[in-house]
Chain A
């Protein structure tokens, strides 16, 4: 099982229910809102979260993204894990690993 930090590539990621995504009224960009904070998403962040449909593992997310961007998955793995790591450290992420 491939891991970076303590996030497993087999995990299925989703935003916790208290996190809300919306467009910012001033900038028009997508943002995540949570208690006492907000983060602006870049295009990659939006693409990653769009792929998190409650079914795909992080490995699948990376694979899909690699296909869209026409690059090798290995090029994207570190960036995707860093993105999820940031969401996780803010308590915004559910990670389900099943019974492995």
Chain B
């Protein structure tokens, strides 16, 4: 099999995070601080990534600013010629910190927002964060770094899409990523509370398109469509193990940040093997590379080179078998699983309460989060 070249590395330095967003894509079993990779190993990983052909490094988490030694890793990313983007909540990013990071060679910062106005945003984050994020955007500009904004869209904020776009304009973002929630990790746990209604999605699609035209050339809007309401799956990752690598805080190397959803996979660790060996030889990367793993209807489908059978994690979560077609596909024998979820969303007038992300490994759905009442509609 032809082993492709990776372009992107997502480095999850830590799972620690001041926010408690219920849509977090981190796994339910968060890495402890004591399990985190040491700085020296991260530096080696960056050298190996550059050698493999990686061009872009997303410095992520959790909250990457909580990782001690981030600056030396960024220095290494820069000296290897790769482009670095800090994917942050913005908490802890004041002017001095932004200047330090710029000095280390950071190229860009992407700040997450939960909504456009403080009350809803803080409610979704499960903590007071919105004002600090606005200040972080200022700090990014002060340090002459380029600013991107990311907002995960879901039932509770998708109707604010126009206002969210205005917020991104106001804070001087060059790029705005509006990503409809993907169901992995905590988002899967909270799917019934997070899934927007069909009407919400149709309206949001329309506004996103309209605003993209209006802002063309001034701010790039990347709108990630929700796939549950479509009839064909997304070409997830442009195919398994084709373009990107995720390294989690423990040093496990994943083909996708959500890949832990596939319980049959065993991931290799950068403490034991080089990135190149893991990328080209490991069982987890080769498991769904190419088309040989496909079952019908994907195997003989003319669109198998277009969507690569969709998302493996979604197939695993919904059907229990990661080899099956992504159930959002209308041709999938499992599409009814998606329709049943959508049906129950339409029937309920109020979304169920969600579970905030927490360090507990056994999240309690009946717990009492601080905004218990207000997170219902």
Q: Taking beta carbons and an 8 Å cutoff, which residues of A are in contact with B?
A: 6, 16-18, 20, 22, 24-26, 31, 33-38, 88-91
In the bound complex, residues from chain A placing their C-beta under 8 Å from that of B222 are 36
The reply to whether A91 and B144 form a contact with Cβ atoms under 8 Å apart is no
Q: B interface, how many residues as a size bin? A: 20 to 34
B211 within 8 A of A: no
Can you list 28 A-B contacts (CB < 8 A)? A6-B217, A17-B146, A18-B146, A18-B174, A20-B107, A24-B53, A24-B55, A25-B51, A26-B5, A31-B55, A33-B55, A33-B82, A33-B83, A34-B83, A35-B83, A35-B85, A35-B107, A35-B110, A35-B146, A35-B175, A36-B56, A36-B85, A36-B148, A38-B7, A38-B55, A38-B56, A88-B217, A89-B216
In the bound complex, residues from chain A placing their C-beta under 8 Å from that of B139 are none
**A contact face: mostly helix, strand, loop, or mixed:** loop
Please pick, from A18, A36, A37, the residue contacting B145 in the complex, using a CB distance under 8 A.
Answer: A18
- State how many angstroms separate the Cβ of B99 from the closest Cβ of chain A: 15
CA distance A37 to B56 in the complex (A): 7
B73 within 8 A of A: no
B108 within 8 A of A: yes
Q: Taking beta carbons and an 8 Å cutoff, which residues of B are in contact with A?
A: 5, 7, 50-51, 53, 55-56, 81-83, 85, 107-108, 110, 144-146, 148, 174-175, 216-217, 219-220, 222
Chain A residue nearest to B107 in the complex (CB) = A18
CA distance A37 to B110 in the complex (A): 14
In the bound complex, residues from chain B placing their C-beta under 8 Å from that of A36 are 56, 85, 148, 175, 222
Please pick, from A17, A25, A35, A89, the residue contacting B81 in the complex, using a CB distance under 8 A.
Answer: A25
Chain A residue nearest to B175 in the complex (CB) = A35
The reply to whether B83 and A17 form a contact with Cβ atoms under 8 Å apart is no
The reply to whether B175 and A91 form a contact with Cβ atoms under 8 Å apart is yes
Q: A35 and B217 in contact (CB under 8 A), knowing A20-B107, A25-B51, A25-B53?
A: no
Most buried by A among B83, B85, B146: B83
CA distance A90 to B218 in the complex (A): 9
